[in-house]
Structure 1
Amino acid sequence: MDVDFLLIGQGLAGSILAYRLHCAGAKVYLVDDANPNSSSKVAAGLYNPITGRKMVKTWLADALFANIEPFYEELERALNQRFLYPTGIYRPFVSYEEQNEWIAKSADTQYDHYIDKVLSNPTFPGVNDSYGGLLLKSSGYVAIKPLLQAFKTWALDREILMLRRFSVDTRSRDHRGYWKFAHICARNLVFCNGVAAGTSPFFDWVPFTPVKGEILTVRQDFCAREIINRGVFRIDMGEGLGKVGSTYNNRELDLNPSLAGKKELLDKLSQLIPAGVQEITDHQVGIRPAIRDRRPVLGQHPSEKNVYLFGGLGAKGVSLAPFFSLQMRDFLISGKEPQKEVNINRFFKYI
């Protein structure tokens, strides 16, 4: 089978880019090793416009967040599956100074799309919010596992997905220069397989800095319509269950749930929501495909002109993928270069 693009990896990056290319009329095919511990399959899927300990507006927020909900709504219709959950995020303040700072920021029009309310008094029963907090809008989460399963079914129905470990080298070409893998001959290869792309002979020079992340599902006597987020996040799953995350560990990159990770999450949860945890019903681990400068990486291999990389989405994949998949699609089809902050050519000096 001849195809325009063979995409390696059916995680969030590969699935969304494949959908974009398919909608643009390209002939695409995916190969995926069905790794249950890929970062996409265990990620909580938050999209949050105000992030970090210092509570700052996330990078490129206006461009990114204009795409998030419209894109996932479109994808829900295409896949006939619900996975987008627009939900307010409540971020308790840690001081009166922080409270005053956000009261002032709320008058700034650049925050109009993201601030729902600035609360100066304790408002959420069961939450440690002595100084009040910031209630955000244009936020929520995407249930990534159902999304990926629905896309897998969509792709299998169209016979454009192979569940198999990918392996190819520079000799794997036919007389036309197409890449050969199994029964597929592809004009172009696009690596979308997270940290595994950095172990390929094509992209082993890209400075991936993988990060281990752990997430718990806990049972406790607490419920909230909003996502509670300070130090850790807690997404209410109903029936007394909450998803709590996440850790960031760039030293130990195994896929084993750790006692240290569990303790860190439970300690931070108890500071945020004092209600005790009655049971831990799940403990998941994934390796995030982060890049050293904490920006995605898009573009073409410097010498293999029909080999590409789309990755490095890290912990904010749900927010980054809709916007940057458009840039990658336009580059693959029209040759329009991605913006310099994410262009792979920023790393050519390391080859």
Structure 2
Amino acid sequence: MEVDFLLIGQGLAGTVLSQRLLKAGKTVGLIDEPGKNKSSRVAAGLYNPVTGRKMVKTWNADLLFPEIIPLYRELEDLLGIKIIYPRPIYRPFVSIEEQNEWMGKSGDEGFRGYIETVRMSSKYDEVNDPYGGILLKNCGFVDLAALLDAYTGWLNEKGFLVQSTFDEDKLIRKDDGFIYGEIKAKNLIYCNGIGAMKSRFFDWLPFAPVKGEILEINEEFKPYEIINRGVFRITMPDGLIRVGSTYSRHDLDTGPSSQGKRTILEKLEKLVHASDREIIQHKSGIRPATRDRRPFLGKYPQEKNVYIFNGFGAKGVSLVPYFSKVMLDLLIHGEEPEKGVNISRFFKYI
């Protein structure tokens, strides 16, 4: 196989960037290890324009969010499956003061495109929302497991995917490109999450891996809206409820934990009242978060044609559609990404 770009990793980042490269007329190959921890498959797939304890617009929301639905709709058309589910997010207020604050923000031009309504009274009997809550729009979730499974099949049919463990020691520099096994590639792109931490090219980047755990449960209360306060609660297409998530920088290799499960359930019980709750599944994954909470885009400065598109953490669904376009401009036209996401911000650590 001879390709313009060899992508290491077929999580969300590798999936979206490879598709953009193909649309641009480039040839691609991907290497991905089946069964390996994939944070993309465990993630909730939530995209939410207003986040955090202080409920602020997510970083670069006005740039990021117009790209989300068109990108995932395009992948739906390519793969012939449903993957994106626009849904309102309902966030209960915890006080009259918070209610008043959001009544004021609802008239703010910067928030107007993301607020559906501000409720002054309870919306659901099952939800702990005596002060009402805010209903957000331009949000929802992506079924990442369905997307990645379908794209894996599509790549296999095209002969673009090699399912094996990537061993960087077997990578051979040849002329202006690389040889890896039977693959000859002009360029390498590391999209392999925390796997890039072990690369000789990118081991200097300040990754800050975070373990996240989620539960899949069954209970009678299945609202259309996503409920989000302390934990998110999403009614999935199969009728199960996905709840999460935890954020731990410890026990990164221990799999799902009893502490993580307990933490999620305690927060869920404060949010939603249910007597018929049944736990179906408990999952965990390691997110490729970064120290400054900004992704890693750019070219390795000491080697030709080696790039990274990585570090999207828990917000990959929101970040990847826009920044894959930025990355494409670098790969095709040599246009450097903005300083805030460019790995040049860390060159002093090499």
Shorter-chain TM-score tier? over 0.9
* C-alpha contact (below 8 Å) 1:172/1:181 kept by paired residues: yes
Correspondence for 2:65: 65
Please list every run of 5 or more consecutive structure 1 residues that lacks an aligned counterpart in the other structure.
none
Correspondence for 2:86: 86
Q: Give the direction of change, closer, same or farther, for the CA distance of 1:171–1:60 in structure 2 (3 Å limit).
A: closer
- Whether 1:337 and 2:344 are equivalent positions in the alignment is no
CA distance in 2 between counterparts of 1:171 and 1:270 reads 51
SS in structure 2 of the partner of residue 173 of structure 1: strand
Between the aligned residues of both structures, percent identity stands at 55
Correspondence for 1:288: 287
What is the TM-score when the length of structure 1 is the normalising length?
Answer: 0.97
Q: How many angstroms does 1:124 deviate by?
A: 1.9
Q: CA RMSD in A?
A: 1.3
* C-alpha contact (below 8 Å) 2:210/2:287 kept by paired residues: yes
* C-alpha contact (below 8 Å) 2:212/2:248 kept by paired residues: yes
- Whether 1:236 and 2:235 are equivalent positions in the alignment is yes
* C-alpha contact (below 8 Å) 2:196/2:203 kept by paired residues: yes
- Whether 1:317 and 2:278 are equivalent positions in the alignment is no
SS in structure 1 of the partner of residue 94 of structure 2: coil
Correspondence for 1:7: 7
Offset from partner CA, 1:296-324 (integer Å, 9 cap, x none): 01000110121111000000000000000
* C-alpha contact (below 8 Å) 1:298/1:338 kept by paired residues: yes
* C-alpha contact (below 8 Å) 2:170/2:180 kept by paired residues: no
What is the TM-score when the length of structure 2 is the normalising length?
Answer: 0.97
Please list every run of 5 or more consecutive structure 2 residues that lacks an aligned counterpart in the other structure.
none
* C-alpha contact (below 8 Å) 1:47/1:139 kept by paired residues: yes
Q: Give the direction of change, closer, same or farther, for the CA distance of 1:239–1:347 in structure 2 (3 Å limit).
A: closer
**Map of 1:1-351 to 2, 5 A cutoff?**
1-169=1-169, 172-174=172-174, 176-237=175-236, 241-276=240-275, 278-351=277-350
* C-alpha contact (below 8 Å) 1:4/1:186 kept by paired residues: yes
CA distance in 2 between counterparts of 1:171 and 1:291 reads 26
SS in structure 2 of the partner of residue 198 of structure 1: helix
SS in structure 1 of the partner of residue 150 of structure 2: helix
* C-alpha contact (below 8 Å) 1:214/1:261 kept by paired residues: yes
Q: Could you list the runs of 4 or more consecutive aligned residues of structure 1 that deviate by over 2 angstroms after TM superposition?
A: 168-171, 237-241
* C-alpha contact (below 8 Å) 2:8/2:191 kept by paired residues: yes
Q: How many angstroms does 1:221 deviate by?
A: 3.1
* C-alpha contact (below 8 Å) 2:170/2:181 kept by paired residues: no
* C-alpha contact (below 8 Å) 1:220/1:240 kept by paired residues: no
CA distance in 2 between counterparts of 1:154 and 1:88 reads 31
Q: How many angstroms does 1:241 deviate by?
A: 2.7
Offset from partner CA, 1:156-213 (integer Å, 9 cap, x none): 1111110011123496122x23211111111110000001111111111000000000
CA distance in 1 between counterparts of 2:155 and 2:76 reads 14
The 10-residue stretch of structure 1 (104-113 or 189-198) with the greater mean CA deviation from structure 2:
104-113
CA distance in 2 between counterparts of 1:256 and 1:170 reads 29
Q: How many angstroms does 1:236 deviate by?
A: 1.1
CA distance in 2 between counterparts of 1:163 and 1:142 reads 24
* C-alpha contact (below 8 Å) 1:45/1:318 kept by paired residues: yes
SS in structure 2 of the partner of residue 13 of structure 1: helix
SS in structure 1 of the partner of residue 116 of structure 2: strand
CA distance in 1 between counterparts of 2:146 and 2:219 reads 25
* C-alpha contact (below 8 Å) 1:37/1:255 kept by paired residues: no
